[in-house]
């Protein structure tokens, strides 16, 4: 497919979702069309057809979940963000919401975050979703254990908004192949 070749050759800038899908921003697509003398259909660029990156938050502390949600929405207005409050809800929401990134508290009721990570990474359908694990108990849940369970990145509570954004940016850059 020609578009895939343009992406592979670096001619068309895009993000790559964990499931292998590509996201091409309208701005990058328009720039590509213009620079390659391809006709631009203005109606396409006027319509709201962008696919948004999706982040699911799994956090049992409702106040903290609300803060995470708010911070992510403010810093990443183009991302779609949802939150659930226990490990069971995380697993149920995965199929419905199909996030690209899961921000997962490790110590949660019903099913803890380590088990959620293990279940996700053992399932082809969910295995490509990136996981940013967060914990307030680094002694019980050390970095090595959490990453071995399937998390891609790790943050210890309390952390700053900048720490969170740095990790999210790092994961998104990896997904985009940057």
* pLDDT tens-digit map of 125-166: 888 899 999 999 999 999 999 999 999 999 999 999 999 999
Q: Domain ranges in the chain?
A: 2-46, 54-176
Span 82-108, pLDDT tens digits: 999 999 999 999 989 999 999 999 999
Contact (CB, 8 A) for 163 and 155 = yes
The Cα 100–Cα 19 span in angstroms is 8
Span 35-45, pLDDT tens digits: 888 877 766 66
| Burial per residue of 15-31, b for 16 or more beta-carbon CB atoms within 10 angstroms, e otherwise | bbbbeeeebbeeeebee
* Domain 54-176 class, CATH top level: alpha beta
173 membership: H or E segment, kind and range: helix 161-176
Residue 13 backbone dihedrals phi, psi, to 5 degrees = -75, 140
CA torsion, points 107, 110, 115, 120, in degrees to nearest 10? -110
Span 44-70, pLDDT tens digits: 665 555 557 899 999 999 999 999 999
Q: Is the dihedral of CA 131, 132, 137, 142 positive or negative?
A: positive
- Residue 47: other Cβ atoms inside 10 A: 9
Asked whether the whole model's pTM tops 0.85, one would answer: no
């Amino acid at each position: 497919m020609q578009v895939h070749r343009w992406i592979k050759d670096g001619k068309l800038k895009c993000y790559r979702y964990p499931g292998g899908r590509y996201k091409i921003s309208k701005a990058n697509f328009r720039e590509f069309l213009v620079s390659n003398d391809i006709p631009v259909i203005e109606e396409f660029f006027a319509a709201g057809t962008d696919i948004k990156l999706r982040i699911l938050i799994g956090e049992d502390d409702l106040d903290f979940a609300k803060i995470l949600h708010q911070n992510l929405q403010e810093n990443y207005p183009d991302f779609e963000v949802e939150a659930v409050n226990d490990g069971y809800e995380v697993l149920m929401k995965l199929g419905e919401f199909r996030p690209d990134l899961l921000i997962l508290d490790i110590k949660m009721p019903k099913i803890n975050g380590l088990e959620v990570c293990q279940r996700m990474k053992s399932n082809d359908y969910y295995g490509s979703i990136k996981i940013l694990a967060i914990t307030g108990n680094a002694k019980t849940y050390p970095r090595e254990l959490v990453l071995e369970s399937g998390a891609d990145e790790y943050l210890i509570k309390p952390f700053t908004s900048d720490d969170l954004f740095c990790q999210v940016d790092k994961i998104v850059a990896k997904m985009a192949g940057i």
